[in-house]
Structure 1
């Protein structure tokens, strides 16, 4: 893949990516009043968060939004929002603005309008960091998900509720147009299985490999 960078090990990749994201945010703030960073949940980006949270950026001019969120409260160990607050929005990064993707109502559909209104002033995304599953999903755009076609469509709303067999809880996710509208896009993956998956995705349609929706504009960062 022409847009794939290989690293000697995961630690080197995480350090380089954190530095790159910080420099891209700083560059954005030279020309714009504010910048928006979108990041994945889960444990993979943790080392990036550790480094990034200490960077001397104008964090009070930076908004942070998750790629997606599980529909669980912050008291759940599966809450991406809770993880973000514990591991990223600390130290210098504590001054950043967190754009919520969860509200304490039973279903994501009940909060879509309110959360979408809150998100729109922070678009387009300045720097987008995505992960990818071995099934080639990114954000909560899962193959076979109930609203995948809607979320991939050019006229998709900014946020889409999503349910899929592999997702566990209901989710809320940024839609493909929002992801594709990002000014800079990075995908971080580890291990041979995901390397093979992303190479396979390049030859599949987005409905079968949702990461394909953003692959052409993304830089893929990989370490074994």
Structure 2
């Protein structure tokens, strides 16, 4: 297993290059398979990648299924909804033809929807291309350091999708290690010195204390100042 670290001169070059790499890997997979899957993070950091990716004409988006790493348990029009950002930046233009598995179902609680979401995600595994992010606290998806939920989500026998209620803001839903670790192609996008320092620190810690550590096997890290 190898971690490849790619440093870019600026964030614009990072976004253009990473979008091209993702499109290429999806297209290559579709040459030998009927469908492909793309799993991406929320937040504003990957938005420039999504903007570029959504305009890719060489990719048959109608054969691609998109879903998030995780989601806050809020309506899709809520300002903090990851799905809202995704619809505005990725699921538009040429990429509007992609299928989308929305992790927010409208159920009263995320735990009420977890089993059905696992069934919805399962046909698209292993993930063809997985894009991850990381927080300054070394969390990824909604797997946060030091929580009992993260310990369960990192277990080899964890369900594919789990509810997360240990964070201070909204309840969340997240894909777990068994869903994320088996991706065919895995990328991590980080920007700025703080995220780079967090990644370096994570490599010295246990995954329960630095959840991104669980995914630093065969992975390409894309970084710009």
TM-score range relative to shorter protein: over 0.9
Deviation, structure 1 residue 84: 0.9
Q: Any gaps of 5 or more consecutive residues in structure 2? A: none
Q: Any gaps of 5 or more consecutive residues in structure 1? A: none
Match of 2:121 in 1: 119
Q: How much is the aligned-residue C-alpha RMSD, in angstroms?
A: 1.2
Q: Distance in 2 between matches of 1:164 and 1:131?
A: 19
Does the Cα contact within 8 Å between 1:146 and 1:162 map onto a contact in 2?
A: no
Q: Distance in 2 between matches of 1:189 and 1:17?
A: 11
Match of 1:176 in 2: 177
Indicate which of 78, 100, 103 corresponds to 2:102.
Answer: 100
Match of 1:55 in 2: 56
Match of 1:161 in 2: 163
Does the Cα contact within 8 Å between 2:3 and 2:217 map onto a contact in 1?
A: no
Q: Distance in 2 between matches of 1:180 and 1:80?
A: 21
Q: Distance in 1 between matches of 2:43 and 2:3?
A: 27
TM-score by length of 2: 0.96
Deviation, structure 1 residue 2: 5.3
Match of 2:146 in 1: 144
TM-score by length of 1: 0.97
Deviation, structure 1 residue 75: 2.2
Q: Distance in 2 between matches of 1:131 and 1:169?
A: 19
Q: Distance in 1 between matches of 2:161 and 2:204?
A: 27
Report SS of the residue matched to 2:38.
Answer: strand
Match of 1:37 in 2: 38
Match of 1:222 in 2: 223
How many residues are matched? Answer: 223
Q: Distance in 2 between matches of 1:131 and 1:200?
A: 15
Does residue 1:64 correspond to 2:66, yes or no?
yes
Q: Distance in 1 between matches of 2:81 and 2:195?
A: 24
